[in-house]
Amino acid sequence: MTAPWTYIKDLPSREGKEVVIRGWLYNMRSSGKIHFLQLRDGTGTVQGVMVKKEVSEENFAEAKGLWLEASVEVAGTVRKDDRAPSGVELTVSSVSVIQNPSEEYPIGKKDHGIDFLLDHRHLWLRSPRQQAILKIREAVIWSAREFLRNDGYMLVDSPIISGAAGEGASGLFELDYFDSKAYLAQTGQLYAEAAAAAFGKVYTLGPTFRAEKSKTRRHLTEFWMLEPEVAFFDHEANMDLQERLICHIVAYALEHCRRELEFLERDISKLEAVKAPFPHLQYDEAIEMLKKLGSDTPYGSDLGNDDETILTKEFDRPVFIENYPKKIKAFYMKEHPENPDLVLCDDLLAPEGYGEIIGGSQREDSYDRLLARIREEKLPEEAYDWYLDLRKYGTFVHSGFGMGIERVVAWIAGLQHIREAIPWPRTIYRVKP
């Protein structure tokens, strides 16, 4: 009888047992009498020790001819080994080759340029660094959803093909939609607002698209956004939710992704400092502070990328910037009750130079003022008739925000560039693979 197929992560509990593992050869060393096979199966890695005199001659020779990334089924006995990271290794009794590549694996040990690696993203995903990052991404999404669900939020999916711009007319991907035009969603927000009137506490989660020509380490043309929207939450309650959500995500990553964070050499003490309460700056205070830090961004302009970098290096935890001038923000934001030139909104900026991870606001709930804003911005009124209906039939104070998944992952994982925070990055010059 053949030994049972076992995942590498489960090997420590199978000491002394015979097992079969299925996976790939990611490295090999050989002394002539012993092959050291480095094996991985997606759940972990283990060293297989194949001793010439303990296996058949043909099988030993066959193993020697394996190229990196050969797919294999390896039978052996699990042995305790204190030097191994997982505490075990595998004494190999046989290697059965599923497929041996006929040429050398393109990603070697030498340093490859970023374009080469991105061209080979389909293979690059197999590297330990990319696996660590994508596990952190999965943990970010999972922990956010867990937090929201436990707090009574319902996931309501929003469409990707839409007839109206969610964030203003610039940066829209337009597509031919039979006899008319449609757009790829820039945000699920407007739909989340409608859902909030049905379910109270909701969120959307999905890919969003921006035809932005920004070639920065913070911008993708396709990125994932988590967007809570809450009935009867004002601006203050909205920021409180953001703070609690971010604290939960960071705490979850510290608890469940410690190995990945250590592998990435993330300074964990910096993440441990992320505790409520987060500091708050009003927009004008942020501009003043930036001036002192050497920025020449004038009052009335949005913060630039460099502004976000220098400002957030001053903080050890995320910082809220509140109440921006109306003229640089989206049409749906509620006017500030004490200053009609401002809107009730916030951006949450991650520390250590990372910058904006969340943009949120209280929404304009007056039909007349919202219509006036749509006209002011010269947006096509007929595309927003359904959105205006929300203010016609039982309008309500409500607020929400969008958290950029890749921005949060890049910050938590300590990445230089957002492109590694998504399996298949889409940027101005890249739609393949």
Which residues sit at the interface with ligand NSS, rule CB under 6 A? 166-167, 187, 189, 210, 212, 219-220, 223, 225, 227, 356-361, 400-402, 404, 406-407
What value does the CA radius of gyration of the chain take, rounded to a whole number of Å? 26
Q: How many residues does the chain have?
A: 433
Least distance in angstroms from the C-beta of 328 to ligand NSS: 12
Tell me which long-range contacts 260-265 makes (C-beta under 8 A, separation of at least 24). Answer: 260/132, 260/133, 260/135, 260/136, 260/413, 261/132, 261/136, 261/412, 261/413, 261/414, 263/128, 263/129, 263/132, 264/129, 264/132, 264/133, 264/413, 264/414, 265/414
Select 45 or 187, whichever has its Cβ closest to ligand NSS: 187
Q: Which residues contact 389 (CB under 8 A, 6 or more apart)?
A: none
Least distance in angstroms from the C-beta of 378 to ligand NSS: 19
> H helices within 182-282, ranges in order?
189-199, 235-256, 258-263, 268-272
Least distance in angstroms from the C-beta of 360 to ligand NSS: 5
280-to-60, 312, 412 alpha-carbon distances in Å = 65, 12, 21
Least distance in angstroms from the C-beta of 164 to ligand NSS: 13
Quick one: CA dihedral 85, 88, 91, 97, positive or negative? negative
Select 55 or 343, whichever has its Cβ closest to ligand NSS: 343
Select 19 or 390, whichever has its Cβ closest to ligand NSS: 390
- Count of other CB atoms within 10 angstroms of residue 282: 14
For tokens 């989340």, what's the residue?
Answer: 192
Select 60 or 233, whichever has its Cβ closest to ligand NSS: 233
Select 278 or 401, whichever has its Cβ closest to ligand NSS: 401
CA pair distance 47, 21, nearest whole angstrom: 12
Least distance in angstroms from the C-beta of 150 to ligand NSS: 21
Least distance in angstroms from the C-beta of 244 to ligand NSS: 17
Select 75 or 160, whichever has its Cβ closest to ligand NSS: 160
Least distance in angstroms from the C-beta of 410 to ligand NSS: 9
Select 40 or 407, whichever has its Cβ closest to ligand NSS: 407
Select 102 or 416, whichever has its Cβ closest to ligand NSS: 416
CA pair distance 69, 218, nearest whole angstrom: 32
3-state secondary structure of 105: coil
Least distance in angstroms from the C-beta of 274 to ligand NSS: 16
Q: Are 227 and 401 in contact (CB under 8 A)?
A: yes
DSSP string, 154-173: EE----SEESS-SS-STTPP
Least distance in angstroms from the C-beta of 334 to ligand NSS: 12
Q: Are 95 and 59 in contact (CB under 8 A)?
A: yes
Q: Are 72 and 97 in contact (CB under 8 A)?
A: yes
CA pair distance 24, 39, nearest whole angstrom: 6
Select 28 or 192, whichever has its Cβ closest to ligand NSS: 192
CA atoms within 13 A on the CB side of 119: 7
- Helix axes of 235-256 and 128-150: crossing angle, nearest 10 degrees: 140
Select 28 or 418, whichever has its Cβ closest to ligand NSS: 418
Q: Which helix (H) or strand (E) holds 45?
A: strand 45-51
Least distance in angstroms from the C-beta of 191 to ligand NSS: 10
Least distance in angstroms from the C-beta of 209 to ligand NSS: 9
Select 24 or 223, whichever has its Cβ closest to ligand NSS: 223
